[in-house]
Amino acid sequence: MSRVAVALAVLLAAYGAWVLWRRPPRRLAGADLGVVGIREPAIVQFTTRTCGPCRAAAPHLRDAAERAGMVYRQIDVADRPDVARRYGIRTVPTVVVTGRDGRVLRAWTVVPDHGELASAAGRVPGRASP
């Protein structure tokens, strides 16, 4: 019985650590991406060249940005480790929606589904009309 309890405790601790690791970094919430040149409403994907899910998600994100009247930007954190450190990017893909001043309004550490992304993009003030 005690082995089962220990195994369950280990599994719960591992799951809790994984959930905490996958949440969007606190430094990214409300951050100003103007420092990296993003000063308009945008969908931004933090990525690396070797990330397969990132490459697969790029057309989906580009299309969502176009439909929302926003721009789509990619930041390769392997080429820009300073950006990864500054904003606490630990996992790719990390996807954010920014407002007209480059301020992060919403962030995900997975590719959000179309409805969730469209909803976040639709609430951005100052974006161009689609």
Q: What is the pLDDT of residues 53-99, one digit of tens each?
A: 999 999 999 999 999 999 999 999 999 999 999 999 988 999 999 99
Mean pLDDT of the chain: 87
Give the CATH number of domain 25-122; options: 3.40.50.1820, 3.30.1240.10, 3.40.30.10, 3.30.365.10. Answer: 3.40.30.10
Residue 22, pLDDT > 80, answer no
Kindly indicate the confidence band of residue 23, based on its pLDDT and cuts at 50, 70 and 90.
low
CA distance 53 to 103: 25
Given CA atoms 51, 52, 53, 54 in this order, what sign does their dihedral have?
A: positive
Domain residue spans in the chain? 25-122
Identify the pLDDT of residue 65: 93
The answer on pLDDT for 129 being more than 60 is no
